[in-house]
Structure formats: structure tokens, C-alpha cells
Amino acid sequence: MTYLHQIWTIAAKDLRSEMRTKEALNASMAFSIVILILFSFAFDQAEGLNQILGGLLWLAYSFAGALVLNRSFARELQNDCLDALISSPAPPSALFLGKAFANFALLIAVELLSLGVFAVLYDVRLSGKFGLLFLVMVLATWGMTVIGTTFSALTVNLTMRELMLPVLIYPFLIPVLMSAMILTTDLLAGVPTATNMVWLRVLVAFDIVFTAITVVFIDVVLVS
């Protein structure tokens, strides 16, 4: 119970701070919409657009997501707050999971708003597909969040962390993004989900494996 309460305390703190400044949220939202608009110009009336819709959507999500994830541990640099968190009795895994849940909530919010813009710009009908699409979003976004939050902790003391984070996380995110892109494209094209179960399994396995690894080793990352 205490462990869950500590996770909630960190997540609530991060969300409250973000809602007061909206630094990451506004930047991420604006960036996502701009990318979707630019893609819509670039691929306007392109043949086979339906075959790349998932890719366009998830590229926008992943670029915009990096902005939210970059702020995750950078937020703790102000006034050396990270020291106060690490010296508290909260386990490092609780600190990590609290931050990860806050990032996840912010990313999902950005993605849902962007999805509406995406549906309008690309004339996509989401009715009847939203449930499964949301499941894909949840699974893939958690994968992005775990990797992004971990590397946000690793790069927090680097002077060029804004550049380093995307460079480091995108190679790790290839399985997640590939799965999400294929699943989203097929869902929007009306391909039966049963034919794509392997990609759903990849997402679930990725989430479980990387969450477990991070929870076990985050202490090493946070305490040098």
C-alpha cells in the first residue's frame, strides 16, 4: 500500500507541476499537430496513403513524445530536487514508476488530441475501431514511456540531453514503433486483428520485459 502511495505521490506531483506550467504539454501538442499538418501536405493525394497512415501517426507521436520525456527528470534538476527524492525512503522503482505513469498520462492526452486532428486531416473514420486502436496506443505508449523515462534519468546530467535523448531512445523503440505502425495501419484499413496478433504480443512482451528490467536496475541509474 505504501509503495503504491509513493508511486501515486510522485505521479501526482509531476502532473500537478506540468499542469501549472504546461511546458511539455503545449510544446508536445503543438509539435504533434504541426508534423501531422506537414505530412498531410507532403502526402496529399499520394497513392497508397492508406498503407502508411499508421507510420505517419506514430512518427508524429514518437517525435512529440520525446519532448514530454525529456522534461521528466530534467524537472528534478531545478533546486536539486532529485537529491531530495533519492534520499527519501521511497524505493527508486517507485520514483521511476511514478514518473512513468505521469509521462504516460501526458503522452496519452497528447495522442488522443492529435488523433482527432489526424482523423480530420486524413479523412479517417475511427468509429468501430477506436477500442482496438486505443489498446494499441496504450501498449505502445507504455513502451515508449518506460524507455524514455529510463533514458531521461540516464541523460539528466548531460549538457546536451535534449539531443541525446532522441538519439538514445529511438533505436530501442524500433520494435514498439514497428508494431504500433503495422497494427494501426491495418486497423484503419479494416484488416482483421486476428491476423496481427503477433504484433500485439510483441508490444505486450516489450512492455513487460523493459518494465521489469528498469524496475530492477533503476537504483544503479539514479545512485552513482
Partner 1 sequence: MIPALAVEGVYKFFGDFPALRNVSFQVEPGSVVALLGRNGAGKTTLLRIMAGLSQPSQGSVKVHGAEAREATTRRRIGVLGHSISVYDELSAHENLTMFGSLYGIPDAPKTADAMLERVGLGRVRDGLAREFSRGMRQRLAIGRAFLHDPELLLLDEPFTSLDDKAIAVLQSMLKEMRDRGRTVVMSTHQLREAMELSTHVTFIQRGQVAYDGERQDEMLKDTGWLYRTYGEQ
DSSP 86-128: HTSSS-HHHHHHHHHHHHHHHHHHHHHHHHHHHHHHTT---TT
Shortest Cβ 21–partner 1 spacing (Å) = 6
Binder among 21, 26, 51, 157 for partner 1 (CB under 8 A): 21
The residue among 78 and 127 lying less far from partner 1, judged by its C-beta, is 78
Indicate which single residue of 25, 60, 64, 90 sits in contact with partner 1 (rule: CB under 8 A). 90
**How far is residue 126 CA from its own chain's centroid?**
21
- Which region among 14-22, 34-42, 134-142, 174-182 touches partner 1 (by CB under 8 A)? 14-22
Burial class, 1, CB count within 10 angstroms (exposed 0-12 / middle 13-18 / buried 19+) = exposed
224 SS3 class: coil
Q: Which of 45, 47, 87, 131 binds partner 1 (CB under 8 A)?
A: 87
Footprint on this chain of partner 1 (rule: CB under 8 A): 2, 5-6, 9-10, 12-13, 16-17, 20-21, 78-81, 83-91, 219, 223-224
